[in-house]
Chains A and B, each alone.
Chain A
Amino acid sequence: MPDLETKPIKPVEKTPEDAEHKQHSIVPRSSVSGSTLTLVVAIMAFLASLTLGAVWTVNDTAQSWQNDVSREITVQVRPVDGVDLDTALISARQIVGSYPGVRSVNVVDNVAMAALLEPWLGGGLNLEELPVPRLVSVSINESNPPDMEAMAAQLKANVPGASLDNHRAWIERLTTMARTTILTGLLIFVLMMIATVLTVVFATRGAMAGSKHIIEVLHFVGAEQSYIATQFQKHFLFLGLRGALAGGFFAIVFFLFVGWWASGNPADPTSNQVEALFGTFGIGIGGYLSILLLIFIISVLTALTSRFTVLRHVGTLDRSSGDG
């Protein structure tokens, strides 16, 4: 401030002007481009969260299908002339039950068998009149499974018409399908994240295009690069966080709603079908935490993009060469 003593100025007395002046943010809080950026971030966060949640659900569902199948084996006893089927079933149950690693053994009774076959053979079946194989459902300990080969050999030797189905072919197909599904989901998620990153980066740059004059003024009044970058970074972190929180929030609401609907609350056939296919359709704590992590990543990404954009622009302002 220059020495003004020689100027025709009276000493300034304390006035209301001496009260603290409101300090506006150096980067304007609200602008059209800022609102657009928030909207873009919100949409991308919502889509990325949906993709993440979908991958999470598919992963859980595929795992549960695989586990359900691998937890159970089946003994099939075909009718053989001269052999009492009920006696054969009792023998099979005793043999299977004697193996360590077997949790429970249940003979599928006639009523259940009739229900199983009803879609193909119609109602009112009398299984006594039909040469239909009977089944013994065996639940096993996955972590300590019984010796399948020995069990199969013993059944074959002692129970005529008995055979053991450990669902290996099913499990292998399901495992392959589950892995393929999960990999496809992950690929989609990675593509979604790349699209999110690019969209957020370009939207942030677009929003900053209208702020270049602010960067220039700050630069020319002697602000350090880091000071300017920090001002913009704080502002864009706020914009990014606001958008990402909105997108993530709606994604979480979506999953909660679909989870509630699929758990059969409205009790309609479609929701029952979905429940049968996906279980509870919940993404669990892990899924929700992943969405929160996604919100954090998108916010930080927005802030860092603004920082690098500022630093690059300041770099072009510093003694730009006349030679171009």
Chain B
Amino acid sequence: MIRFDSVGMRYGSGEEVLKDISFDIDPGSFQFLTGPSGAGKTSLLRLLFMSLKPSRGLIKVFGKDSATLTNEELPGIRRRIGIVFQDFRLLDHLTLYENVALPLRVRGYEERSYRRDVIDLLKWVGLNERIDAFPPILSGGEKQRAAVARALIDQPELLLADEPTGNLDPNLARRLLRLFIELNRSGTSVVIATHDLNLMDQYDARRLVLNDGRLQIYA
């Protein structure tokens, strides 16, 4: 599904923040991406999401060399990937319902065709009472759950989540992890960037550990 081969990344003329990164993400796999702050987790996620170009090396996404993807091909590839940003990136002028439905709306689907799915998902993440609320009045945890729901709404083949449980209490974090596991069982590959050891201990999954820009993999 995704293949990194000797990938290096640097910002400007600084040192490489990622060095000789090589790994595969197989279909239906589940992995945690972890490491200390500043180790390069977010940069690696951005490479996976193709919002950054590597300074060197090869990245293959769904069998295509990311360096040769055209601007017209990118939206189609991105629709196969769901992403949960660390800073949520919800649109403040849209209701929670509209934020979660946004990926389907921009694909041109009729509102009635996805209404039930969006409401179901909002209920599952515990936001059914906040359907018509606007993000500015939500708590950090609520925003995070909404961001997760938005990433899941279109059943992506790959889910990337950047610290998805960072603002959640342990119960809700466990519940969210269960959702990710269930999603993974239904065939979606999952990459969760986190440094929450407690979260990782709850599920036996491959760990991609970044340290000083280098990657170690623990199966």
Residue pairs across A and B with CB atoms within 8 Å: the count is 135
* A20 and B115 within 8 A (CB): yes
Closest to B98 in A: A24
Which secondary structure characterizes the binding site on chain B?
mixed
Q: For chain A residues 1-48, which have a beta carbon within 8 Å of chain B?
A: 1-4, 6-7, 9, 12, 17-18, 20-24, 26, 28
Complex interface: stretch among B28-36, B181-189, B191-199:
B181-189
Contact A322-B182, Cβ < 8 Å, known A4-B124, A21-B115, A220-B89: no
List A contacts of B55 (CB < 8 A): 321-323
Closest to A17 in B: B119
One of A2, A12, A216 near B186 (C-beta < 8 A): A2
User: A320 contacts the other chain (Cβ, under 8 Å)?
Assistant: yes
Closest to A311 in B: B71
Interface size on B, residues (CB 8 A): 62
- Bound complex: CA A189 to CA B121 (Å): 58
* A17 and B117 within 8 A (CB): no
- Bound complex: CA A23 to CA B50 (Å): 30
User: B64 contacts the other chain (Cβ, under 8 Å)?
Assistant: no
* A223 and B51 within 8 A (CB): no
* A217 and B102 within 8 A (CB): yes
Nearest-Cβ distance from residue B138 to partner chain A, whole angstroms: 16
- Bound complex: CA A21 to CA B85 (Å): 26
User: A266 contacts the other chain (Cβ, under 8 Å)?
Assistant: no
Nearest-Cβ distance from residue B162 to partner chain A, whole angstroms: 12
Contact A222-B95, Cβ < 8 Å, known A1-B120, A322-B43: no
Nearest-Cβ distance from residue B27 to partner chain A, whole angstroms: 16
* B51 and A319 within 8 A (CB): yes
- The proximity string for A residues 213-229 relative to B, scoring 1 for CB distances below 8 Å and 0 otherwise, is 11011101111110100
A-B contact pairs, 8 of them (CB 8 A): A17-B128, A214-B91, A217-B89, A222-B154, A227-B108, A317-B51, A319-B66, A322-B52
Other than the given A4-B121, A322-B9, 5 more pairs (CB < 8 A) read A21-B115, A213-B91, A216-B89, A222-B75, A324-B13
